[in-house]
Structure formats: C-alpha cells, structure tokens
Structure 1
Amino acid sequence: MMESSYDTNDSHYQSISYLGHCCNGIAVIHLSRHIPSNTLVAIKKFNMDKAKEDTVLIEHEIVLTRQFHHPNILPYLAAYVNGPEVCVISPLMAFGSCKNLIENHFTEGLPELAIAFIIRDVIQGLDYIHKKGYIHRAIRASHILVSSTGQACLTGFRYACQIVENGKWQKRIHSFPNSTANNLNWLSPEVLEQNLQGYNEKSDIYSIGITCCELGNGIVPFADMPTTLMLTEKVRGHPPPLYDSSTFQGLGNLELSQSPRNGEMGDSNGASSSNLQSKARIYSSRQFTDAFHSFTEICLEKNPTRRPSATELLHQSFFKLCKRGESVPDLLHPVMPINDQISSETDDWEAVLAAEKMQEMDINTCEWDF
C-alpha cells in the first residue's frame, strides 16, 4: 500500500491492543487497524505534555525518518497531532523488536543464522543512512524491528546526527548526543571519550559489534557495570565476547577468572555473575562459527580506522550463511508474529471481538523503543 493512502484522521484508526512503551514512558505503542484499508499498523503516540526537553528529539526523529526511503529503515507512513499527542503511523513489525525476542523467547541468544539475516538487513539500512550523511548513534536490539516476513528494519533516529556541514563532508565530528543514558552501553570508545579526535560513521560499526554480542548472548553488554568501568574497558580494548564453547572452558561450573577469546572476562563480561552462571551450560555447549566471531571482533576494533565501512561489512564471510535458503520466521519458530494471531481481514464487529480477546493471546508487551 502506498504511503499516501494512510491519512491523518484519528477516527480512521481502531485501537486493538497496547503493545508497549518507549522514550522513558513519553510514548506508547498500540496495535491498531486502519479502517479504510483494513490493515494492521503500529501507532506510536507521544504525550507532548511529558516530553519537555525531549520535544526537540521527537521532532528531529519524525522529520528525519520521513526523509529516509529504504527497505531496511522503518518508515513513518503518516504523522498527525491529536490533542496533546503526536501520533506516528508505521507498518506493523509483527515479530516486534529484537530486544523483545531475546527477553521473551531467546534468553540465551538468537540462532546464529537468524542473527546473520537480521544484521545484514541492519547494515544495508546503515549503509544507506551513512551515504545520506548521517550517523545513527543508537544501534541496539530495541531499535531493530522484524516484520512477519523476517525483514529487519532499523529505527531510533532521534539520536542521529549529520556528517555533512555547510555542504562539506566532515572527517570528524565532536557533538555528543543528547539524552545518551539509554545508549551508553552500545556507544563506541571514541564517542564516549569526547576528545579532540572526534568520531565519524565508523562509531556505528562498533555499535553493530556490541549488538551482535547482545543478540548472540541474550544479555545487554556491560549491563551491571558502572559507567566509568565500562568506559575504561572499552578504551582498553576489552569489549564483551560472544559466549560459546571457545570462550567458556567449563561446562556448567563457570569460573569468572577464565579468559575468553577477546581478553579478560572477570568483571568485564558485561553481565552479572549470576546471570552468566544460569546460562553457562548453554553457552558452553554451543559453538558459533569462526566467521561470526571474526565479524564481531572486526566491528569491535578499538581503533576506528581499522573497522570496515558498512559497505565493506556486507562482503564479510559471515553473510554467506544467508545463502542457505532458510527464512527468519522459520528460524524464530515457535514464536508467532502478531498478524498470525489476529487477522486484519475482519469486519468491524469481528475486530471488536478480537480486541476483547487480545488479553487471552500470548502477545508480550515490552519497551518498543523505536
């Protein structure tokens, strides 16, 4: 359906279910039906009375996102004001965010092949915005959404910034993103250091590496580590590793003094000891491919000049896995996309009945922080 077919009349959108919240509670996301076209969409509603200093970020995100047109960038189909709320219409990404998939279904991490498909899509979107002259600065699992067909889309552009200034491409920029508290764990060392050397689009490549660890391990990197220690570890070149039999020497009885492939683990493992202990047996019994390890390690190079560009990353051997012909929905089985739980091909009365039954369905809410 063409973007122009989605209008800005709030009465044309029938709310079916609450999906989640984002932006520190400023916005809520609803599964809704666009009545004229009888299709399911996601509506993000920003309460501008709560936004305060985030108003500029919200405006920036909406304006910027609507300028992008790429299959792996989540489009905003329409935007309008309804009372104190700014409402943004986007396609329903029926598998939700990768964060949602990890928290509710794949607590030890997503299957490697699924990660290959998802990260390939993300990098294609990232390559597009880099060539448009923007740095994302907030790549993480919650900003990657997956459609019912398995296509991954990048979102979360309220933290993005331009590389181009006064018509000239800048080799380095020095602006520090506003409201970075939620993104610190994924930011590159050069962004966090805020020194005279500045940073460029290669900082997003580091965030790709951190996100690979997040998707592979099912754990937010540096989750239980003080911010200063996290920065120290990154500056020392000690990012978190992918956890498998090559990074765990024991089966089940984890010794935190063990040294995985990328250096000291100890307290620099990026997650609590108890969390790792509970997952140690799974980690110790699986084996990621060398291609996945190598891909993650090259993204997490401390020196940004040694990191490949997004274009170069697409030629990494890791993505040869995607030629096997398998699909992301099959790899995510038995997770069921939302649009398989409720059909958009209903009349008005059936939609009302479906809305009343939504609470009985296994639709998990989460921070859809897109």
Structure 2
Amino acid sequence: MYSRVAGEEGKSSIMYDSSPNSYHGMAHLGTCCSGTGTIHLALHKPTDTMVVVKKFYIDDRTPEDYNLVEREIIVTRQLQHPNVLPYLATFVSGHSVCVVSPPMGFGSCQDLIEEHFPVGLPEVAVAFILKDVLQGLEYIHKRGFVHRAIKASHILISSMGQACLSGMRYACEIVKNGRWQKNIYCFPSSTANNLKWLSPELLLQDLHGYNEKSDIYSLGITICELANGVAPFTGVPATLMLTEKVRGRAPHIIDCKLPKHAEHENTNDGDAGSSNSTLAAIGESILEHFSSRKFSESFHSITVQCLHRDPSNRPSTSQLSSHPFFKQCRKSDETVVDIFKSVPKIGRRDVDSAGDYGVAMSAEQLANLDLQSCHWDF
C-alpha cells in the first residue's frame, strides 16, 4: 500500500509504502503516548528521505491502550490539513503496530519548553504557533471531531516553523447518525494524562454535556503552558483542580501585571485562586524573571476569552483567528525558525549522536517486520 503526500514545499509528492523493508532505523528518539510506544528516526530507502516511525507494542498493553492506538490511526488517516500531523503509512507485525509520519524538526512544544525555554516561549512565538493550531483545530471541528487533548505535547513544530496538531487518539465525533450533535455526553476512556487541560463542562459529566467549545478551553490552558513554561494546576490534586475549574477560577499568563489581571477577573466568573497553583509550581528564581517581563494586553485578552467558565461565552476558532493578538505575526521581522535558531533540529544529528550502538538497536527494532494478517482496519 502506498500513500501519496505533498512535499514540504508543496510542489511535489512522495510515495510512502507500508512495507517494513522500505525503512531503515537510524536512531532511537524516545517514547510516546505514556510509554505505550517508542519513537525512531528512520530512512525511507526508496526515496532517501527521513521519517519518524512510532512503534506501539500491543501485546503487553491493556485493551484500553490497544483501542487508543487503533483510534488514533483511524481518525488521523481521515484528516488531511497542513496543520494536522499526517500518518504517511502504517503496518503491523504480530502484536506491534508501526506508524510513519514526517519528522518535525523542532519536536513538540513541550520538548522546546523542557529543553530550551524553561520560563516559557516568547510571545511572538506563541502567536505564530497558536495561529497554526487554530487553523488545524478549525479543520478538525469542521470534519466533525472534538479533539479533547489540546496541549503542548500534542503541538509539533516542523523544521520550517509550521505547527501541527497530533494526539487524535482522544478525539470523538460531533456527528452521529448523520446529524450534528449540539452536545456530547461521552466521557473520554482515558483522561489521566489530560486532566489539567480538560474543560470544566467535560469533567462534570452532567446533563448539559459539552461540544467543540471544550477544545477552546483546553487551548486557553495550553496558552498558559506555552507562556509560563508549566501547565496550570501542576501538582494540584484532581478534586481541587475540578473545584477551581467549576467555580470559574481560570489560570493566567504570568507577567508583571498578574496582580492587576487577577483582581479584575470578574468577567470570567473567577478570581486569582488558580494562579496560586501555577505559581506554586514555579521556582523563586523563575518568578523573578516573570515579575520583570510584560505581555501585551491582547495576549492577556485572548487567554481570558478562551478560559470563560461558560462555553457559550468562549469564541469559536474562526473568531479567535481574527483576534488582535495575531497582528504581531504580520508586523514581526522574526519567524518561528528565527526564534528557534539556537535549537538543534531533529534529523541526521540524532544519527550522529546515537553512535553505532544506538543505530544498531534502532535498526534491530525495525528490521524483519513481516506483514501478517490482522483485524486492524486502517
């Protein structure tokens, strides 16, 4: 089976096949999906292009893990948008599933924060990333899905500076039996890794249900994560976090104006309580940095709008895309690539750093994967 995908410049296309013999493991990059899979840099031999191969070991996982992996592949392969991470090919072998995707040169936003921007990304970088994410999210919503897992680790940045959404394993349909549902009542089968980002109405599981506006709330939490370098509610017990969300205590992006914004949060039906949980997760030295930096009013504004307790008061993706916050993207002399110029890109440098042992291990894990019959339907 072959999959045709547009090239990075959009001018040509490359055929990726589902034969394991077409891929040569180059380096082990890490784990993914809470340890249910490993990530490898590989060479697609027919085209001499670098790809990323995620390998999921299903044999020692629970049925829930199995269903999530299957769900992610099925949903992702229904989507085709520049700001949604594509799956170029998939193949199975015994109890393992391999998924091929393009290499995202700068990794995830979570990787960028942890390794290079511990106090959060620059505002203009957040603007560029958020602009792309909104385009991808709007497409996902129009295709009839609620993402339900918007967060920094599910936003990947290509070597060209383009942001792509991933994490479709947690998505659910808005359309049922051919009809668009006003509200959804199904609760995600796995929420442990996403609780901090989920909207209050989704967590409540009451008769009001939730809809695509729950993703807007998650986007607001992600904005705080990108700007502050730490996700809101980090270290907060789940019950307390739920209480704060239900009461409308929304997090904030933290700068020298935090006290002012916290005091005047009545428009969001909340107060400064939830900001304390974020501050508690940040060291004293970093807090000094925050007290000297200043974000724009539009940055604070878009964050507040996303985090309204009442989902009907949150803007849609298209309304957010026209927010004044994004004017700086047109005015900026920098691009995402310029901002991240000091960040080494994922690619052949990983092959060099892996050494002979790393390459051998990765090659061994990808070699001899004979296609076998399987009831997976991709």
1:354–1:227 distance in 2 versus 1, CA, 3 Å: closer
Residue in 2 that maps onto 1:2:
4
Shift of 1:148: 0.2
Deviation of 1:354 (Å): 7.2
CA contact (8 A) 1:248 1:284 kept: no
What CA deviation, in whole Å up to 9, does each residue of 1:55-75 have, x standing for no partner? Answer: 111111101101100000000
Does the Cα contact within 8 Å between 2:86 and 2:102 map onto a contact in 1? Answer: yes
Is residue 210 from structure 1 mapped to residue 221 from structure 2 by the alignment? yes
Task: Name 1:333's counterpart in structure 2.
Answer: 341
The superposition leaves residues 91-126 of structure 1 with CA deviations (integer Å, 9 ceiling, x where unpaired) of: 000100000000010000001101001011011000
Q: Which residue of 2 aligns with 1:254?
A: none
Percent same amino acid at aligned positions?
A: 52
Structure 2 CA distance for aligned equivalents of residues 358 and 326 of structure 1: 39
Distance 1:288 1:161, change over 3 A: same
1:169-318 to 2 correspondence within 5 Å? Answer: 169-247=180-258, 262=265, 264-265=271-272, 268-271=275-278, 273=280, 275-318=282-325
Give the SS at the match of 2:17.
coil
Partner of 2:355: 356
Matches of 1:151 and 1:312, distance apart in 2? 21
Residues 267-308 of structure 1: per-residue CA shift (max 9 Å, x gap):
653336362423111101100111110001000011000101
CA contact (8 A) 1:247 1:261 kept: no
**Contact 2:249–2:274 at 8 Å: present in 1 too?**
no
CA separation of 1:209 and 1:267: change in aligned 2, threshold 3 A: closer
2:252–2:275 Cα contact (<8 Å) kept: no
Following the alignment from structure 1 to structure 2, what is the Cα–Cα distance between the partners of residues 157 and 285?
Answer: 38
**Per-residue deviation, residues 140-187 of structure 1 (Å, max 9, x unmatched):** 000000000000000000110001111111111110001101000000
| Deviation at residue 221 of structure 1 after TM alignment | 1.1
Distance 2:311 2:346 in 1: 39
Q: Distance in 2 between matches of 1:267 and 1:236?
A: 10
Q: State whether structure 2 residue 46 is matched by structure 1 residue 36.
A: yes
The alpha-carbon deviation at position 265 of structure 1 amounts to 4.0
Corresponding residue of 1:156: 167
**Is 1:90–2:98 an aligned residue pair?**
no
Distance 1:259 1:68, change over 3 A: closer
- Provide the alpha-carbon RMSD of the alignment: 2.2
Q: What's the CA shift for 1:51?
A: 2.7
Maintained 8 Å contact 1:126/1:310: yes
- Report if aligned partners of 1:248, 1:283 keep a CA contact under 8 Å in 2: no
Q: Does residue 48 of the first structure (1) align with residue 47 of the second (2)? A: no
User: Which of 286-295 and 53-62 deviates more?
Assistant: 53-62
Per-residue deviation, 1:81: 0.6
SS at match of 2:104: coil
> Residue 258 of structure 2 aligns to a residue in which SS?
coil
AA at the equivalent of 1:230: M
SS at match of 2:61: helix
Counterpart-to-counterpart distance in 2, 1:355 and 1:226: 39
> Which TM-score applies when normalising by structure 1?
0.88
Please state how far the C-alpha of 1:36 moved relative to its aligned partner: 1.3
Offset of residue 24 of structure 1: 2.1
Does the 8 Å CA contact 2:251/2:274 hold for their aligned counterparts?
no
Take 2:158 and 2:34, find their aligned partners in 1: how far apart are those partners? 24
Further displaced range: 47-56 or 227-236: 47-56
Question: Contact 1:47–1:85 (CA<8 Å) still a contact in 2?
Answer: yes
User: In the alignment, is residue 143 of structure 1 matched against residue 151 of structure 2?
Assistant: no
Return 5+ residue gaps in structure 1 as ranges: 250-257, 343-350, 360-370
From the superposition, tell whether residues 274 and 171 of structure 1 become closer, same or farther in structure 2 (CA, over 3 Å). closer
Contact 1:17 1:358 in 2 (8 A): no
SS at match of 2:97: strand
Cα separation, partners in 2 of 1:200 and 1:259, compared to 1, 3 Å: closer
Q: How many aligned residue pairs are there?
A: 343
Q: Is 1:12 the equivalent of 2:22?
A: yes
Q: Take 1:205 and 1:143, find their aligned partners in 2: how far apart are those partners?
A: 15
Unaligned 5+ residue runs, structure 2?
6-13, 359-378
The letter of the residue matching 2:143 is: K
Instruction: Give the TM-score normalised by the residue count of structure 2.
Output: 0.86
Deviations 1:16-68 (A, max 9, x none): 21112122211011111111111111100000113322211111110110110
Give the letter for the 1:154 counterpart. L
User: In structure 1, the residue corresponding to 2:39 is in which secondary structure?
Assistant: strand
1:41 counterpart SS class: strand
Distance in 2 between the 1:13 and 1:240 partners? 45
Matched residue type, 1:300:
L
